[in-house]
Amino acid sequence: MENQNLENFMALMKPIAATISQARIDADLEAVLNATYPSSGDTFGKVEQACHEAITAGWMCSQGDEGRRFGRVLEPSTQTDDLSVDVVDLTDIVGPHHRHPTGEICMVMPVTPGARFDGHEAGWCVNPPGSAHHPTVTNGRALVLYLLPQGKIEFTR
């Protein structure tokens, strides 16, 4: 059953990955994603619902502790346009500092109304190649799906 759900999830992500693969990882991509896949739109809603269902089923965000759960959902491959897909479930937390050698594309899905990820409400935010941060959720709980070109991320101290 999990493989079927993972295949369905990959199919939901395919058009998003294709959009990202055709663009530079920058502010223009953030604007394109927010216009093409807005938080009020059908695609965004289906991905968000799939994340909640997968977390409930136990195959997504299966690592970590209360307040910070995480897990890689898809490895970079030709099927994902060389993007990895990870999902984190964070509640009022400053996460571990890391760097994005090839950039990071985040889909922010507040669970608590008003929750923010790095200051962003529901929608998309893009961190360009070479950027770094402490991922931070304020005002409650949020799911964040993030895509990494070539799956690259560097945790720092």
Query: pLDDT tens across 94-111, in order?
Result: 999 999 999 999 999 999
For the residues 31-43, what does the mean pLDDT come to? 98
Model confidence at 125, in pLDDT bands (50, 70, 90)? very high
pLDDT at 1: 41
Binning pLDDT at 50, 70 and 90, where does residue 2 land?
low
What is this structure's pTM?
0.95
pLDDT by residue (tens digit) across 70-92? 999 999 999 999 999 999 999 99
**Percent of the chain surpassing pLDDT 70:** 97
Contacts 24+ apart (CB under 8 A), 72-78: 72/151, 73/6, 73/9, 74/6, 74/9, 74/10, 74/13, 75/151, 76/148, 76/149, 76/150, 76/151
Q: How many CB atoms lie within 10 A of CB 58?
A: 9
The region, left, alpha or beta by phi > 0 then psi within -120 to 50, assigned to residue 60 is beta
* Domain 2-155 class in CATH: mainly beta
Query: Which whole number is the average pLDDT over 120-135?
Result: 97
Query: Which DSSP category does 79 fall into?
Result: G
Average the pLDDT over 129-141 and give the result: 97
Domain locations in the chain? 2-155
